[in-house]
Amino acid sequence: MKALLSCLLVAVMSVAVHAGGIGPDSSWKQLYFDRMYEPLMPTVLFKASSPDSIGSRLVFKRASEVSYFIAPDGEAWLYGGETTLCTRYAVEAATEDDRVCVATEQAPLLTPVKHQARFCTFRSDGDCQRYAEHTVEYPLGLEVPIMRRVSESDSFTPARIAFKKSLKLAECSDCAVKLEAYLSKPM
């Protein structure tokens, strides 16, 4: 009986220690590493384009991986790092699907905090026939819900929020220079 009670006490203590280690003061890395918690992190959409308009890519970044800066004209921008774009292709077979990237370049992931986004609402014959525009404004700070599951076989669900963690985007000190350099390239 004592062995059973001591095992039960050890199990309860390990759960309490585990649960006590994660909370609103935990780092984002700790939260993503812990298998019992999952931030319901919003994402930021970036469209990276090559100056010669050959390569482009849509990239989603977690809000915790994005910083902001104020451009010289006073407009707020988000910076998500850089991505690799293909700028030249070679066709190895008779179909367009068999093209291979032969040249790349780095492009910054930049988007204004507030901008008009254009979405396709109707497609026909593989092309967009009708578009809708929507104003998008990303906040520079927010409360991120942190989901918790009861066991590893459980799913994360927004109905089971353990706590909320504050996220304030970091300010990027040299991003305005990166924006100017990018915009000065011939398009």
Residue-level pLDDT at 53: 63
pLDDT of residue 1: 52
Q: What pLDDT score was predicted for residue 3? A: 57
Q: Which amino acid is at 34?
A: D
pLDDT of residue 54: 73
Cβ neighbours for 124, distance < 8 A, ≥ 6 positions apart? none
Question: Which residues of the chain register pLDDT less than 50?
Answer: 7-19
Domain boundaries, the chain: 23-184
Contact 78, 59 (CB under 8 A): no
The reported pLDDT for the residue numbered 6 is 52
Q: pLDDT tens digits for 142-160? A: 999 999 998 888 889 899 9
Q: Are strands 127-137 and 141-148 parallel, antiparallel or unpaired?
A: unpaired
Q: What is the pTM of this model?
A: 0.74
